[in-house]
Amino acid sequence: MGENQKIPKILVFSTEKISDPAIDLAGLLKKHYPPTVYVVNVPCSSSVKPKWILHAFKKGFDGVFIAADGSDCQYSETCTFNTGEIVRKTHDLMKKKGIEPSRLKMAAICSVCSDPFVKQMKSFIEALI
């Protein structure tokens, strides 16, 4: 890590009812994570369009993280699978465009998973540097 090196920017797709509370909780407990993490919320992690992800990379985001509902999803039990499919599909598209697939990550963040979220963010940033 050199001086004045830019911190990678991460876009997080988070879900209103599951991972948002966890991210809020991290703030509430003053668990710090890099300030270049931006959260955009969606109803469910299976609703993220690959198009949006690619748009984010195009606009200069270094990484995209999907905070998946996992088994907590209130809409469907297939949510984890669906989100996985979106990531798989997007990875393919990224490869075609020459974007390193490791720049898109997903992990389940439950509604109280503030610690895992902070850890995920820190390790993702580390990996992107």
Partner 1 sequence: MRCRIGVYVCMCGSNISDYVDVEKVREIAAENPCVVLAKTTMFACSDSTQKEIIEDIKVNELNAIVIASCSPKLHLFTFRNVAERAGLNPYNYVQVNIREQCSWAHSDNPKFATLKAIQLVKAGIDKAKNSVSLEPIMIKAEHSALVIGAGITGMKAALALANTGTKVTLIEKEHYVGGRIAQWNRLFPHNDPAEKLVKTLYEEIIINDNIYLYTGAELISKSGSVGNFIVKIKIKPRYFKSGYLIEQCIEKAIESCPVEFDDPFNYGLTKIKAIQQNHIGQFPYYPVIDMSKCTKCGICTDICADIDLEQKEEELELNIGAILIATGAESYQPPSGEFGYGVIPGVITLQMFRRLIDLNGEKLIYNHKQIKRIAYIYCVGSRQYDGENQYCSRYCCTAAVHTSLIVKEKFPEIVNIHLTRGVRTYGKQEILYNKSNLQKDIYLQFDDTPPEISEENGMINIKVVDILTVKKTIELDIDLVVLVTSMVPRKNKELENILKLPIGRDKFYNEVHPKLKPVETMIDGVFIGGNCQAPMNISESVKSSLSAVSKMNALIGKGEIQLEPSLATIDKSICVWCDECTKICPSDAIIKTEYNGKPVAEINEANCKGCGMCLPVCPTNAIQLIGYSDVEIESMIDALASYSPEFTI
Give the binding site for partner 1 (CB under 8 A).
Answer: 1-7, 9, 11, 17, 20-21, 23-28, 30-33, 35-36, 38-40, 42-44, 46-52, 55-56, 59-61, 72-76, 78-79, 82, 85-86, 89, 111-112
Q: Which is closer to partner 1, CB of 72 or CB of 107?
A: 72
Q: Which is closer to partner 1, CB of 24 or CB of 119?
A: 24
Q: If you ran DSSP here, which 8-state letter would residue 29 be given?
A: T
**Would you call 7 exposed, middle or buried from its count of C-beta atoms within 10 A (0-12, 13-18, 19+)?**
middle
Shortest separation between residue 75's beta carbon and partner 1, angstroms: 4
Shortest separation between residue 98's beta carbon and partner 1, angstroms: 19
Judge contact between 121 and 62, C-beta under 8 A. Answer: no
Q: Which amino acid is at 37?
A: V
Shortest separation between residue 17's beta carbon and partner 1, angstroms: 5
Shortest separation between residue 10's beta carbon and partner 1, angstroms: 10
- Taking the C-alpha atoms of residue 14 and residue 5, their distance in angstroms, rounded to an integer, is 27
- Taking the C-alpha atoms of residue 39 and residue 29, their distance in angstroms, rounded to an integer, is 18
